[in-house]
Structure 1
Amino acid sequence: MPADDAHLGESWALSPDSRRPLPELIEQKLREQIIGGALKAGDRLPTEPELARMLDVARSSLRTALQRLQLQGIVEVRRGLGWYVRRTDLAAIEEHLEGRLAAKRFSDTNLLEVRIALETTAASLAAVRAGDGELDELAKLNRRYQRAPVDDQQEVIESDEEFHLALIRASHNELLEEMYQALVPGLQDCKRHAHPSREVHNRSANEHEQVIWFLRRRDEVGAKSAMTTHLLGLYNDLATDEAEPRATLSTYVGVHDEPMWPRPPRTT
């Protein structure tokens, strides 16, 4: 049954912590409602427009928070019915990989390195498996990204992730897509700490175009190489773990680019 507003508690005011991303504050508020017993397993949440109004936030930020909770197994979406509380044992949930990812217990560097592995593989698969309509959609999504104002951080992040998620789906590998989806909230968080210039934004859009160019030619090696170059640029812009040496790009016989992961220094 839907939980009414009175049952959900009196205060939906978010914590005034300007240092934390808005979706993280929304996630915290929803967790508080669950921990406090206002939301129980099986309860249906208010609709997204209602929740956005109650929290006084944009639906895009609310949806990101709900996706984070979904990855942790706390809520679930039922097609045509809405969002429901799935379970309330939050301590046990966070021991699972999905919970640890959503709780951001891995560094930005870890997340980006796994993204490189998944998305470069997806690019090579998409070159072989994607339909022409999917490639047209990728081009359309990149045009949206190109038009995004640099000072509109939310639009830049969302349009970029729409492009990359469409590429993942074009690989036609459901497991790869599910693994990538588990990374998305953490990846969005690390991007929010970055402040890209127009030059960096244009470079990224041009690299998207390079990937599409190889995909249209059904060149899986070229598509993987172009995606590797693109993601390693982002990796070096966004990775935050200064204790870990950074990857560089290694080119083999001029046709195949791969990340070159640095070896840790030897200890005596």
Structure 2
Amino acid sequence: MPADDVHLGESWSLSPDSRRPLPELIEHKLRELIIGGTFKAGDRLPTEPVLADKLNVARSSLRTALQRLQLQGIVEVRRGLGWYVRRTDLADVDQNLEGRLAAKQFSHTDLLEVRIALETTAASLAAVRADAGELDELAKLNLRYQRASVDDVQEVIESDEEFHSTLIRASHNELLENMYQALVPGLQDCKRHAHPSREVHSRSAGEHEQVVWFLRRHDEVGAKSAMTRHLLGLYNDIVEEDGTPKATHSTYVGVSDNPIWGTSR
């Protein structure tokens, strides 16, 4: 197995393509190293701190890249042991669902509609399952997001993703978490596409806080409703660009915590 100090002679420089998000550049470099034979099937990758240092990137960006590769079946994480190369025959990777998701081959609206279904369910589950430590962590992560400068796009995206991923984990539903992680690469691209103004950023932080407020009170309906309202904001920012009627949300109709969709596309 490769140790953390092996392959020091390999080129770890990232592509200079500034138009692509950093996690994509990291993913491309790791793919390159795997295809080139630096790492073989069954090999353990260096630890995250070592990889981040060699690539000169933040661990959060590295972790996103590793998650992208995990979704494609290229690497896998073994709890307590680290990241391992799962396969090196990458020719057909993009043909499966995970590969298509990682390659962003679905529309932003499709991704967001599935996200709303998953994350609102996760919010209601977290309201009855999250422990005090997880709730405190969510509050801290929202504070980080609130303090992020809107001019620092990467920090805004990463702090927002940390908040939402932590909420998903707080649902204590492993399948739901795995399904959500499959959406993460496309969602991050979507967030870059809809980079918020200061007003939208402030509103979003307030909505995060409201979700946490309901979670602390173990109110699953309130938490789901608050999360629905929050996610529909981003959804409508995207869909209104092509003239699609906005989805709405009301606490006074039928099943009160569900979105009311506009006409089908």
| TMscore range, shorter length | 0.7 to 0.9
**Cα deviation digits, residues 186-245 of structure 1 (max 9, x gap):** 212221233322211110011112112222333222221111110000112345983x83
Match in the other structure for 1:153:
153
Q: How many residues align?
A: 262
- TM-score, normalization by structure 1: 0.87
Match in the other structure for 1:90:
90
The offset of 1:21, in angstroms, is 0.6
2:7 to 2, 5, 8: 5
Paired with 1:46 and 1:246, the residues of 2 have a C-alpha distance of 48
> 1:20-59 counterparts in 2 under 5 A?
20-59=20-59
Residue 131 (str. 1) matches residue 131 (str. 2)? yes
Q: Which runs of 5+ in 1 are unaligned?
A: none
Paired with 1:136 and 1:253, the residues of 2 have a C-alpha distance of 31
Match in the other structure for 1:236:
236
Residue 251 (str. 1) matches residue 253 (str. 2)? no
Match in the other structure for 2:188:
188
SS in 1 for 2:77: strand
Match in the other structure for 2:173:
173
SS in 2 for 1:67: helix
Cα root mean square deviation, aligned: 2.5
Paired with 2:262 and 2:239, the residues of 1 have a C-alpha distance of 15
SS in 2 for 1:179: helix
Paired with 1:203 and 1:38, the residues of 2 have a C-alpha distance of 46
Paired with 1:133 and 1:79, the residues of 2 have a C-alpha distance of 21
Paired with 2:180 and 2:241, the residues of 1 have a C-alpha distance of 21
Paired with 1:241 and 1:97, the residues of 2 have a C-alpha distance of 27
Cα distance change on mapping 1:52 and 1:168 into 2, 3 Å: closer
Paired with 1:134 and 1:49, the residues of 2 have a C-alpha distance of 24
Match in the other structure for 1:16:
16
Paired with 1:34 and 1:134, the residues of 2 have a C-alpha distance of 36
Task: Supply the AA of the counterpart residue of 2:7.
Answer: D
The offset of 1:69, in angstroms, is 0.4
Task: Supply the AA of the counterpart residue of 1:108.
Answer: H
- TM-score, normalization by structure 2: 0.87
Q: Is the 8 A contact 2:2 2:44 kept in 1?
A: yes
Q: Is the 8 A contact 1:112 1:239 kept in 2?
A: no
Percent identical among aligned pairs is: 79
